[in-house]
Amino acid sequence: MSDALDRLIATIKSRAAAPDPSSYTSALLQAGPPRIAKKLGEEAVETIIAALGDDKAALAGETADLIYHLLVLLEARGVSFDEVRAILDQRHGTSGLVEKAARPHDPTSAP
């Protein structure tokens, strides 16, 4: 529980268990997955734009917003971040190229 992400996940779970009318997290969870996914998309776009600029603090800030909305989305859909951690360990314990080569073929990719 000493990690910032674990603290944030605990906060999000407490908002899900006991909605607080003054909490943005509670409002997002109440609005549901499509609305949270929309916010995630907006933060991803802002992260991309920040990554192409020169302001490193802006990139760190947008990344934080992206991760926050991602964690709220996982809570809304009942997916544990521990599952995500397990997948990261599984996929990136070996070379990423090896992992990517093992992915199923996308039939709509360029032939």
Of the residues 1, 17, 18, 97, which one makes contact with a copy of itself according to CB under 8 A? 97
Q: Which is nearer to a copy of itself, 11 or 16 (CB)?
A: 11
Write out the H or E segment, with its range, that includes residue 79: none
Which residues within the stretch 25-84 sit at the binding site for a copy of itself (CB under 8 A)?
25, 27-28, 31, 33-42, 44-49, 51-53, 56-57, 59-61, 63-64, 66-68, 70, 73-74, 76-80, 83-84
Q: Which is nearer to a copy of itself, 16 or 35 (CB)?
A: 35
What is the C-alpha R_g of the chain? 17
What is the greatest pairwise CA distance in the chain?
52
User: Cα–Cα distance between 100 and 94 in angstroms, integer?
Assistant: 11
User: Cα–Cα distance between 21 and 28 in angstroms, integer?
Assistant: 11
Nearest distance from C-beta of residue 3 to a copy of itself, angstroms: 6
Sign of CA dihedral 58, 5, 76, 83: positive
Nearest distance from C-beta of residue 43 to a copy of itself, angstroms: 8
Q: Is 108 in the site for a copy of itself (CB under 8 A)?
A: yes
Nearest distance from C-beta of residue 38 to a copy of itself, angstroms: 6
Residue whose C-alpha is closest to residue 45's, from 70, 61, 62, 24: 62
